[in-house]
Structure formats: structure tokens, C-alpha cells
Chains A and B, each alone.
Chain A
Amino acid sequence: MCTAICETTAIRGFGRGQRGWFPVTQATVAFDHTSHGEAEHALLLDFANYDLGTDARVALELDLASGRALLERLRAALEAAEATGLPG
């Protein structure tokens, strides 16, 4: 890796990719070379279950501003969801 910026966490949920819906077990957040984007580097988000195969992956390549916006909205949605007291 050229930047070596990469964070991973175990997650529990489902993602929809090439194979339809599948259980996701790992999220990776990196800042490194893009595979598809127009920039040299991007925030790379992968939601995957590599036990099912390398194609069990939902991928995003975002610019940093989008990453920050997503983080803020994710935090806001989490706080609102937790305030409901509903299980999730």
C-alpha cells in the first residue's frame, strides 16, 4: 500500500452486492489509490464477507468531503435512532 492508511472493524448486518443480499462481517476504511475514481486517492469503504468469496463486497470510493458529510449524517442518524429506544 502506498499510504498505509487502513482501518478495519468487525460489523454485523447485510449488504447488497453482485450476489444479491449477503451477511457482511467486516468493514474496511482506507485512504489509498482508487480503482475506479477520478482522483489519485480516495476514501475507500468496503463492506465484505470474505468467507463467502472475494466478490462478497460492497465498495465505495468517496472524496474526503463526502466522507466527512457521511460521518456527520451517520452520527446524527445513530443518535436519533438510539433516542427512540427501539432495538436495532
Chain B
Amino acid sequence: MWNSFNTDAKLSITAGITTYAAGGGDEIHAYVARPQADGPLPGIVLVHHLPGWDEFYQEFAERLARHGYTVICPDLYCRFGHGTPDDVAAKVRAQGGVHDDSVVADCEAALRWLQAQPSASGKVGIIGSCSGGRHALLAASRIRGFSAVVDLWGGGVVMSPDQLTPARPVAPIDYTKDLEAPLLGLFGNDDQAPSPDQVDRHEAELKKHGKSYEFHRYDGAGHGFFYYHTPMYRPQQAMDGWGKVFGFFEKHLQG
């Protein structure tokens, strides 16, 4: 849980930008945060959101690392060029978005990178918010090897045919039967992407296929309620949600 460390614990993390061999063997940037400990340590692939590989995600990685995880957050937009996160995200948007296959390949490579670390326990989870929640679910459905997946208000899990694009050709809900990892989903009931109805449809599909999942839906919250840098932030719902995330990863990655 958050804020539950002993004050005499020798807690320390390291964090910074590195490169790794991602999808197609491309060397792309990743933000890596890890505890300074011998291990064995579980790993987490952190999938950034639509607004880009930004400062929020660097802090997100560090928070997870302080709770005992080696975290790699690939720059999924790295191949589009560099600049401020806002500018790069705008360029990606203008070009139709990053292709789902590209994201899945980068996440698979990140999974292998984590498993190859000398300190690795072998267990790896994946988490993301917004488009990153959708991508985390998509990657966990299409790749074997994840022990847990967390979807934070991922929009576009349920898609109508007219919402499919060349970059997003398949709705992640259509891969539900292939999902092996247990899923945690957190959603705001005032959100419209995903809407409560879309969350209902996703939950029905998970039940239909007998999948292991936990969904938690928050009143008084919309999209992005963890985002303390925006007006969407809802501190009570966010802190409860963080507790759910830590508890879920502890159960499935540290047990």
C-alpha cells in the first residue's frame, strides 16, 4: 500500500532514460525505474497514454519502483521523432496514431527485457492508462507471459466498426478469449471513453469467457482521475485506486 514503508527501511531507487531493442529490433527510448535491491524482483511494463511519453509517466514509473518493481516504460512514439511530449503526441495524432502492432511488439520486447534482468523474479505485469490501458490489455491478450494486467480507464476497448482505423484495426474486446492474465480495471462512472455501457459490455465478455478480472467503478470521477496535474484529478478515488493497483500487483506478482 502507498505510504506504508518503515521509516528505517533502506529504500532507494534508480531511474532514468535508456534504450532497448524494441519491436523489429529498433533501439527506442525507455524510462526505467528500479529498486536498488538484489532481488528477485517482479517487473512491470508501463504503457504510456495518448498525451505521450511524459513527465506523469516518469513519476508513475518511479512510484511503482518504490513498491518493489523493476519498471520499463517504452517511448511508443520514439520512431516519430523527438520534442516536447505535447508536440510529439500532436505529430503522432496527425499521422493517425501509433499502430497497435507496433505497440504490442514494443511491449513484448519490454517483457523479454524485464525477464532478462539479473534481478528478475520471472513475474511481469503490464499497466497503462487511457490509450495505454487499452494497449496494456491488447498486449496482454496477444502475448503470452504476463502474470497480471491493469487497465486504467482505457478507451477504445469496445469499438464500433466505424471506429476501426488502419492503426487500430481490431477492438481489444475481440481478443478477450485469448486473455490469460488476470485483469484489474478501474473506471470513472462519469467517463464517456470508456462509457459505463462500454465497461458493462467488456465485463459481460469477460464473464462469457470465464476470465479472472476485477472491475472497480468510481462515482464522482470521469476520465483520468489519477492525473494530479489536471482538473480531472479526484484525490479520494485516485488513492483508493492506487491501493487497488498495489494490492493487485502484490497478489499476482509478489505472491
Contacts and interface: CB of A to CB of B under 8 A. Distances in A.
A binds B: yes
Contacts of A44: 90, 93
A1 B87 contact: no
Contacts of A46: 90, 93-94
B43 interface: no
Interface in B81-97: 81-84, 86-91, 93-94, 96-97
A4 B91 contact: no
Nearest to B89: A35
A4 B81 contact: no
B224 interface: yes
A53 B88 CA distance: 9
A35 B83 CA distance: 15
B50 interface: yes
A33 B83 contact: no
A3 B191 CA distance: 12
A33 B129 CA distance: 12
A3 B155 contact: yes
Interface string B62-88: 000000000000000000111110111
Nearest to B191: A40
A57 B87 contact: yes
Contact of B93 (A32, A38, A40, A55): A32
Closest 7 CB pairs of A and B: A54-B83, A2-B155, A54-B87, A28-B94, A2-B193, A35-B86, A46-B90
A53 B131 CA distance: 24
Q: Is the interface of B mostly helix, strand, loop or mixed?
A: loop
Interface residues of B, number: 34
A36 B88 CA distance: 15
A38 B231 contact: yes
Contacts of A32: 50, 93
B91 A54 contact: yes
Contacts of A48: 90-91, 94
A1 to B, nearest CB: 5
A30 to B, nearest CB: 6
A1 B97 contact: yes
Contact of A54 (B50, B88, B224): B88
A36 B87 CA distance: 12
A35 B90 CA distance: 10
Interface string B92-120: 01101100000000000000000000000
Contacts of B84: 54-55
A76 interface: no
A39 B88 CA distance: 21
Nearest to B190: A40
B29 interface: no
A59 interface: yes
A38 B165 CA distance: 28
A8 interface: yes
